[in-house]
Amino acid sequence: MTVNAVSHTCQWWRLAPGSCRMVLVPSGEDGGREGGERCRRVGCADVPIAVTGSVATDHLMSFPGLFAESLVVEQLDKIALSFLVQDLEVRRGGCAANIAFGLAALGARPVLVAAVGEDFADYRSWLERHGVDCAALHYSETRHTARFICTTDRSHAQIASFYAGAMSEARDIELRPVSDRVGGLDLVVVAPNDPEAMLRHTKECRDRGYAFVADPSQQLAWSDGDTIRQLITGAAYLFSNEYEAALIEQKTGWTTPDVLKQVETRVVTLGRGGVRIERDGDEPWTVDAVGGVTAVEPTGVGDAFRAGFLAAAAASLSTRRAAQTGCVLAAYVVERVGTQEYAFTAKEFCCRVNDGYGEEAAGEIADWLLPSC
């Protein structure tokens, strides 16, 4: 094991060229569930991850004021507002596409499983150039690719609308042919999507034994308690922000301990506060967000966090390292407009981990991202 300095402040440990090893990691916060050990592959990125969910173009606008200043509490049942925005950015987006893009940026093998329109050709070329497998896409003959329209005020509060379009046909997609084509699936991400598609994919994962990630987030608003219970029961990971975590408990009638008995790990993002990891029988613990970030546009930050977390988890890094990886990738997104407009080298990414979380974290993540340098 050698140490290589890239700058005066950035260094990490590397594996020998081309190496790939198995390491036993103790149980606890960095070793998985209590009472056991697990194997961690270092320097390998050969496991496909299917990412189901929305694919859309994002129409992003900025409002220089505060939405809250225009809200009259006593008149919310008659609300009728419009806001004069300063600019309009049209960008590639959609939860599944954003997550797949982030996974590919970190060397994972994402398979995008989604429904799109015939207008998707340029977007597909972009994703394929960046390492995303798009062979499992379903094309609608009658509907356009979905649209996400979002306005953000100066406090980063957001008002958004979503046109489903072709996404409503995602319910026709079966996962087994995808698994057969790529030689099996290590993990299936069930991100916000057509509601019937989310239920179908979740049920198929349980029936066929595919480990899955429950990420209902934006679709929680329409969901009743029974639907939410179906979407999260048996998940390897449940992702949400703090508000969504509370909404899940309110609508299902479950307490926090009840939720933790249904999933292996709950990951709750805390915005500037970082992320909290919760498991049944363990004390919750947190990872701080990356410091020194100038936030420009929050859209897609959660998707980037999920991509970073899951890429590291699929490479069998510890949960703490996965959370740190997610936070670093999220920082790249929030610093610019657009959810897929970031780029970095593996060395640059490891340096940022070093700056945010120290030499030991950077060393372990570099063992994964830079196995043959």
SS (HEC) of the chain: CEEEECCCCCEEEECCCCCCEEEEECCECCCECCCCCEEEEECCCCCEEEEECCCEEEEEEECCCCHHHHCCHHHHHHCCCCCCCCEEEEEEECHHHHHHHHHHHCCCEEEEECEECHHHHHHHHHHHHCCCECCCCEECCCCCCEEEEEEECCCCCEEEEEECHHHHHHHHCCCHHHHHHHCCCCEEEECCCCHHHHHHHHHHHHHHCCCEEECCHHHHCCCCHHHHHHHHCCCCEEEEEHHHHHHHHHHHCCCHHHHHHHCCEEEEECHHHCEEEECCCCCCEEECCCCCCCCCCCCCHHHHHHHHHHHHHHCCCCHHHHHHHHHHHHHHHHCCCCCCCCCCCHHHHHHHHHHHHCHHHHHHHHHHHCCCC
Cα atoms found within 13 Å of the Cα of residue 184, Cβ hemisphere only: 5
Q: Is the dihedral of CA 83, 332, 287, 185 positive or negative?
A: positive
| Annotation marks residue 224 as catalytic | no
Which of these is catalytic: 133, 153, 303, 367? Answer: 303
How many angstroms separate the CA atoms of 275 and 191, rounded?
19
Ramachandran region, residue 21 (left: φ > 0; alpha: ψ -120 to 50; beta: rest): beta
How many angstroms separate the CA atoms of 314 and 10, rounded?
25
Q: In sequence order, which residues have a C-beta less than 8 Å from that of residue 238 and are 6 or more positions away?
A: 213, 214, 215, 232, 259, 263, 265, 266, 267
Residues acting as catalytic residues: 303
